[in-house]
Amino acid sequence: MSKKQTSGADALIQSLHKEGVELVFGYPGGAALHIYDAIFNQSDVDHILVRHEQGAVHAADGYARSTGKPGVALVTSGPGATNAITGLATAYMDSTPIVVISGQVKSELIGTDSFQETDMIGVSRPIVKHSFLVQKAEDIPEIVKKAFYIATTGRPGPVVIDVPKDFTDPNHTFEFNYPDEINLRSYKPAKAGDPKQIKQAVELIVKAKKPVIYSGGGVIQSDASSELTKLAKLLQFPVTNTLMGLGAFPGTDPQFLGMLGMHGTYEANMAMHNADLIIAVGARFDDRITNDPKQFALEAKKIHIDVDPASLSKIIHADVPVVGSAKDCLSALIAELNKEKLDTSKLQPWLKQVSDWRNEHGLNHSMLEKVSENGKILPQQVIQSLYKETKGEAFITSDVGQHQMFAAQYYFFDKPRQWINSGGLGTMGFGLPSAMGVQFAFPEDTVACVTGEGSIQMCIQELSTCLQYGLPIKIININNAALGMVRQWQDMQYGGRHSSSTYEDSLPDFAALAESYGHVGMKVTKFEELESAMKECISLKDKLVFLDIDVDPNEHVYPMLEAGNAMDYMHLSKDKKTW
């Protein structure tokens, strides 16, 4: 019996189905219309119509980050493709596995400045892990197979498939075969670490007196949280997570020091600065961590475990570089350590020191207990109230700014994939669409988007998507009537000159705006109203609630590293610093 004949468009959708894709987030247009018709004619793959292509890519990204499965977005050529660029860069910087399919003008028109033509491959080249320009319809199944393999293996990342319209034409059909395997000669991601390096790592570990484990997003990406926790428990070493790594080690565990870096806790940054051994796992020593790399943790030996060999010794010299997935390398390390007689008693002075640092200048985690001196709601109190009402179990997405840092500092993430934010690119506008991706993947769970009145306006059109698909996201708008993080820098470094960081009374009534989109809008201005409003917001299980909370506009995020110095140079409050 002869196999079914398909068009390129049908083959594309069937290939997605073969990859286990259930949802595609997208927005149609001319060059993608054959693909949209193919979607209409089947029921294996659902399409979610967003309101802006940036929203589609962030939604696919949020889906990928929360599930560990690749997310998929579909856009048309030209403006559709360029609108997807910020989403691609966001996924690239945080190494998330997504596949973005862009329609392209007919192959014969490429290079002629035809209507809605953009060189998507060229424009996206520096911000994708890989890209494919389809050359004939028959290649589509193999390209899809390769795209998903590349996006999800090694250091994950976004892959673009640019499809000229003629290769999806329903009048051209061929026999559909989905390959079982593909062979990519020049791409062989490393798995387990080299046993010699693992042995060297063990030698450093058993000698260490002042160790710290510094783990990042790579641990979450490789589903290595349980191995990381096992290692930390075995060794009794303190653990700090990067912004991207929060949840990889339980946030409520006493061994946890909190986040490190620019707005990391005092104890995490002090532990890093004074350590004699740093075990870096799935983290890349970026500038928000190291501050001045020349002054970074000078006394510490560094073991660096990363799946991407290009990350090793890129910024900070690795005494023991270990290339491989965090999961496999940590398992190998634990197995090797189990052969040793470990003496944790020699760590006691160090653990006491770390605990003293925490007692001295740690974050105050009981701010809900009393109203602030000026009577205004503090942003930290909003996060604590959210934590309390969601029992620490919600998925939290965030935007970018002060609210993001407060969420990272004050919500304790006990599980990986619970905290979804744009750490690398720092994309305002990420919060709401990424929450849509999470809510689609976990329809029964509470998904809250912690945002600011600045960020939410960057993708606010997605409120309409949320109504169409009944997504009951909780939007927690920490409204300080300013681009708060910009203003904080202006306060600290530009003599308080607030150049274009406030809005001159031009903000919308967010609660009314949400209502006009068909959702529930609530406004909170007084501390006494905060907890009951939060309770009501979270309890409205089937509704999107936009909770707009006026907070003290003068609050800053602390600690904050002093630029150009070592990690122990921290501002602790408006009038206290460590030097």
Question: Which CB, 400 or 544, lies closer to Mg ion?
Answer: 400
Contact status: 429 vs Mg ion (CB under 5 A): no
230 is catalytic: no
**Active site residue: 5, 115, 393, 576, which one?**
115
Q: Answer yes or no: are the C-beta atoms of 124 and 85 closer than 8 Å.
A: yes
Q: Which does 323 bind (CB under 5 to 8 A by kind): Mg ion, ligand TPP, none?
A: none
The letter for the amino acid at 441 is A
Active site residue 116: yes
Give the nearer residue to ligand TPP in terms of CB position, either 460 or 485.
485
| 138 carries an active-site annotation | no
Report the residue closest to Mg ion, judged by CB: 452
- How many Cα atoms within 13 Å fall on the side-chain side of residue 202? 22
461 is catalytic: no
**Is 255 in the active site?**
no
Q: Which does 166 bind (CB under 5 to 8 A by kind): Mg ion, ligand TPP, none?
A: none
518: left (phi over 0), alpha (psi -120 to 50) or beta: left
Closest CA to 333 of 196, 189, 188, 190: 196
Among residues 103 and 423, whose Cβ is nearest to ligand TPP?
423
Question: Angle of helix 379-389 relative to helix 527-539, nearest 10 degrees?
Answer: 40
Instruction: Give the Å distances, CA to CA, from 88 to 56, 68, 93, 274, 427.
Output: 10, 17, 9, 37, 11
Shortest Å, Cβ 313 to ligand TPP? 29
Q: To the nearest whole angstrom, how small is the minimum distance from the Cβ of residue 379 to ligand TPP? A: 7
CA distance 511 to 474: 13
Q: How far is the CB of 497 from Mg ion (least distance, A)?
A: 18
CA geometry: angle 505, 511, 514, nearest 5 deg: 115
Stretch binding Mg ion (CB under 5 A), from 83-91, 116-124, 339-347, 449-457: 449-457
Partner whose binding site includes residue 427, from ligand TPP, Mg ion, none (CB under 5 to 8 Å by kind): ligand TPP
By C-beta, is 211 or 484 nearer to ligand TPP?
A: 484
**Binding residues among 457-486 for Mg ion as defined by CB under 5 A:** 480, 484
Residues of this chain that interact with ligand TPP (CB under 6 A) are 399-403, 426-429, 452-455, 478, 480, 482-486
Residue 409 interacts with which of Mg ion, ligand TPP, none, CB < 5 to 8 Å by class: none
Give the whole-angstrom CA distance, residue 244 versus residue 424: 8
How many CB atoms within 10 Å of residue 357?
Answer: 19
Q: Which of 211, 250, 321, 452 binds Mg ion (CB under 5 A)?
A: 452
For residues 217 and 484, which CB has a smaller minimum distance to Mg ion in the complex? 484
CB of 234 to Mg ion, least distance (A): 43
**Nearest alpha-carbon partner for 547 in 479, 480, 476, 492:** 476
State the DSSP string of 467-526. Answer: HHTT---EEEEEE-SB-HHHHHHHHHHSTT--TT-B-TT----HHHHHHHTTSEEEEE-S
Count the neighbouring beta carbons within 10 Å of the beta carbon of residue 223. 15
The entry of Mg ion, ligand TPP, none near residue 428 (CB within 5 to 8 angstroms by kind) is ligand TPP
Spatial separation of the C-alpha atoms in residues 299 and 573, rounded to whole Å: 28
Enumerate residues 6+ apart whose C-beta is below 8 A from 384: 365, 367, 368, 410
Question: Smaller CB distance to Mg ion: residue 45 or 475?
Answer: 475
Nearest approach, Cβ of residue 377 and ligand TPP (Å): 13
270, 485, 522, 570: the catalytic one is: 485
Q: Indicate the residue among 330 and 386 with the shorter CB distance to ligand TPP.
A: 386
Pairing between β-strand 570-573 and β-strand 576-577 as defined by DSSP bridges: antiparallel
- Write down the catalytic residue from 14, 19, 25, 53: 53
Active-site option among 69, 106, 116, 523: 116
What amino acid positions are annotated as catalytic residues? 53, 115-116, 165, 485
Which stretches of the chain bind Mg ion, using CB under 5 A?
452-454, 480, 484
